[in-house]
């Protein structure tokens, strides 16, 4: 039961073969059984979840609520009223927000049951879920390996059937990469598609909230719930909500009429593992077998995405994180001798090493003497990268590329920060462009899951779902984790 898709389980809820309480209990049991090893949750709210499930059961199944009775989880970077929200950081260890993020409100309106808050790299800075101040996340397919990050906890909870779907955030790959390393589906929506009201910001010009699920259809359902205009986020697009699930009533089986662009700089990358590369090649051949035309395209500025991203993201982070000052909320140092020391010690004690590194880097690149040399250049490169995407998409419907050059690696094996940043080579550029990307599972290499990502034009998530669905159905990689 807990390994079915939302689409399947909804049919059973509607027929009253099971109820919301039974479903919630089953998920909580799976969490109890597995989470000591997996580390998907920082905070769990079992009593509240069961209470909500009982209330729903008393009222009875409501077909107008798209997620009626469905247990889900959310990344701990999203504000949840009356649920502790730490962003994976000690500095927010005691923070319980008095309000919920827009996306959390939307989940609740849709009748979803939020089980708890997912583990993450501190303030979403990381690629493995090892930078959490609370615990390390582990990959359900091999617990010696990383789950990916920063939304590692969200990906783990969905992959290991602790819940049916989850929300994460993607600033430079944090949804697509853990989805890929854990063998599930993850979407970074178009910038502006989903309101960030109530998101504890990392880098505001890059951050997007998006869903994880085990099938493409479930991912489309989640986006239908969380998208929509919200005036409390000034970057929220005025577009109304769309029902992305309509397409699945009669989905196209093949890829006739679709042209897929293959950006050669992704496939020629030297960091690519051979087995992963082989699987990507096979996936392209399978896409052709079901009717897709493929075309090589070029994105010459891809190589500069790491430098550009880490300058821009750190600059924005240094500004966003200035609000954690030990005065307004979160950790405050004991008995500082003056105000200066209060700021300094609260932040020194509250922030982890990676966060401090980025604040230092960010304030440096923004400082008067260096702004033109670093930040301004990075912003110019960003524009070129966006143009690369736009040019490539002029010739094709979507682009297809690997997500991670290698499968999930051993925990603790990458300790050099620069080496870690290199791992993001395939995901960072998309956020610099603002365009949407869907990560889908395409098979296994070295006994671990491999994902590929589909990029599309702004607000064309529907096309990503269409192509993603045909591919996973054909490859047989939808909902593949065996309990």
Stretch that binds ligand GLN, among 19-27, 86-94, 124-132, 403-411 (CB under 6 A): 124-132
Binders of ligand GLN: how many residues, by CB under 6 A?
14
404 included as an active-site residue: no
150 included as an active-site residue: yes
Q: How far is the CB of 457 from ligand GLN (least distance, A)?
A: 21
**Are 315 and 208 in contact, with CB atoms under 8 Å apart?**
no
Neighbouring residues of 261: CB distance < 8 A, sequence distance ≥ 6: 294, 295, 296, 297, 392, 393, 395, 396, 398, 399, 400
In this chain, which of 174, 237, 433, 466 binds ligand GLN, going by CB under 6 A?
174
Q: Comparing C-alpha atoms, which of 146, 116, 169 is closest to residue 320?
A: 169
- Based on the shown chain and the rule CB under 6 A, indicate whether residue 125 belongs to the binding site for ligand GLN: yes
Neighbouring residues of 332: CB distance < 8 A, sequence distance ≥ 6: 326, 342, 346
- Residue of minimal Cβ distance to ligand GLN: 174
- Measured from the CB atom, the residue of 173 and 192 that comes closer to ligand GLN is 173
| Radius of gyration (C-alpha) of the chain in whole angstroms | 21
Stretch that binds ligand GLN, among 118-126, 215-223, 228-236, 411-419 (CB under 6 A): 118-126
- Based on the shown chain and the rule CB under 6 A, indicate whether residue 305 belongs to the binding site for ligand GLN: no
Q: How far is the CB of 254 from ligand GLN (least distance, A)?
A: 33
- Based on the shown chain and the rule CB under 6 A, indicate whether residue 313 belongs to the binding site for ligand GLN: yes
Stretch that binds ligand GLN, among 53-61, 170-178, 295-303, 372-380 (CB under 6 A): 170-178
In this chain, which of 35, 105, 170, 218 binds ligand GLN, going by CB under 6 A?
170
Sites for ligand GLN among residues 424-443 (CB under 6 A): 424
Q: Comparing C-alpha atoms, which of 470, 460, 462 is closest to residue 440?
A: 470
Beta-bridge partners for 401: 453
- Measured from the CB atom, the residue of 158 and 396 that comes closer to ligand GLN is 158
**Are 20 and 68 in contact, with CB atoms under 8 Å apart?**
yes
- Based on the shown chain and the rule CB under 6 A, indicate whether residue 200 belongs to the binding site for ligand GLN: no
Stretch that binds ligand GLN, among 166-174, 212-220, 339-347, 453-461 (CB under 6 A): 166-174
Beta-bridge partners for 13: none
Q: How many whole angstroms separate alpha carbon 156 and alpha carbon 114?
A: 16
Q: How far is the CB of 86 from ligand GLN (least distance, A)?
A: 15
- Based on the shown chain and the rule CB under 6 A, indicate whether residue 172 belongs to the binding site for ligand GLN: yes
- Strand pairing class (437-445; 185-188): antiparallel
- Measured from the CB atom, the residue of 79 and 313 that comes closer to ligand GLN is 313
- Measured from the CB atom, the residue of 62 and 422 that comes closer to ligand GLN is 422
From 127, 174, 180, 318, the catalytic residue: 174
- Based on the shown chain and the rule CB under 6 A, indicate whether residue 127 belongs to the binding site for ligand GLN: yes
From 5, 132, 150, 151, the catalytic residue: 150
- Based on the shown chain and the rule CB under 6 A, indicate whether residue 150 belongs to the binding site for ligand GLN: yes
174 included as an active-site residue: yes
How far the first Cα of the chain sits from its last, in Å, is 11
- Based on the shown chain and the rule CB under 6 A, indicate whether residue 124 belongs to the binding site for ligand GLN: yes
**Are 427 and 403 in contact, with CB atoms under 8 Å apart?**
yes
- Measured from the CB atom, the residue of 420 and 462 that comes closer to ligand GLN is 420
- Based on the shown chain and the rule CB under 6 A, indicate whether residue 126 belongs to the binding site for ligand GLN: yes
Query: Which residues contact ligand GLN (rule: CB under 6 A)?
Result: 124-127, 150, 169-174, 202, 313, 424
List the catalytic residues: 75, 150, 174
């Amino acid at each position: 039961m807990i390994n079915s898709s939302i689409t399947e389980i909804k049919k059973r809820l509607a027929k009253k073969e099971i109820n919301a309480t039974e479903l919630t209990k089953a998920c909580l049991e799976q969490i109890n059984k597995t989470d000591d090893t997996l580390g998907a949750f920082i905070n769990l709210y079992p009593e509240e979840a069961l209470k909500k499930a009982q209330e729903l059961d008393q009222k009875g199944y409501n077909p107008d609520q798209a997620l009626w009775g469905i247990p889900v989880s959310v990344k701990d970077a999203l504000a949840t009223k009356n649920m502790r929200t730490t962003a994976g950081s000690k500095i927010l260890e005691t923070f319980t927000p008095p309000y919920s993020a827009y996306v959390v409100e939307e989940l609740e309106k849709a009748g979803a049951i939020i089980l708890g808050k997912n583990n993450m790299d501190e303030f979403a800075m990381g690629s493995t879920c090892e930078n959490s101040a609370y615990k390390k996340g582990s990959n359900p397919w091999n617990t010696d390996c990383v789950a990916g990050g920063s939304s590692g906890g969200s990906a783990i909870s969905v992959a290991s059937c602790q819940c049916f779907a989850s929300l994460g955030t993607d600033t430079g790959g944090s949804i697509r990469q853990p989805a890929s390393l854990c063998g599930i589906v993850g979407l970074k929506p178009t910038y502006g598609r989903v309101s960030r009201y109530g998101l504890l910001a990392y880098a505001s010009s890059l951050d997007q909230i998006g869903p994880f699920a085990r099938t493409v259809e479930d991912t489309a359902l989640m986006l239908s719930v969380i998208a929509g205009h919200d005036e409390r986020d000034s970057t929220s697009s005025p577009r109304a909500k769309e029902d992305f699930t309509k397409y699945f009533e009669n989905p196209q089986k093949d890829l006739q009429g679709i042209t897929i662009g293959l950006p050669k700089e992704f496939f020629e990358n030297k960091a690519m593992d051979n087995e992963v590369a082989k699987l990507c090649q096979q996936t392209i051949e399978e896409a052709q077998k079901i009717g897709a035309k493929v075309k090589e395209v070029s994105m010459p500025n891809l190589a500069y995405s790491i430098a550009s991203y880490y300058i821009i993201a750190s600059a924005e982070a240094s500004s966003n994180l200035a609000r954690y000052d030990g005065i307004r909320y979160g950790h405050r140092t004991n008995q500082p001798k003056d105000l200066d020391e209060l700021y300094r010690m609260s932040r020194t004690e509250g922030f982890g090493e990676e966060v401090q590194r980025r604040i230092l880097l960010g304030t440096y690149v923004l400082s008067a003497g260096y702004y033109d040399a670093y930040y301004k250049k990075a912003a110019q490169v960003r524009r070129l990268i966006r143009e690369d995407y736009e040019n490539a998409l002029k010739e094709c419907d979507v682009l297809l590329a690997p997500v991670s050059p290698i499968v999930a690696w051993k925990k603790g094996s990458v300790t050099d920060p620069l080496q870690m940043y290199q791992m993001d080579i395939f995901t960072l550029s998309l956020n610099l462009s603002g365009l949407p990307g869907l990560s889908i599972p395409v098979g296994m290499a070295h006994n671990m899951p491999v994902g590929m990502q589909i990029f599309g034009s702004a607000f064309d998530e529907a096309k990503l779902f269409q192509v993603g669905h045909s591919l996973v159905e054909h490859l047989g990689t939808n909902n593949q984790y065996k309990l």
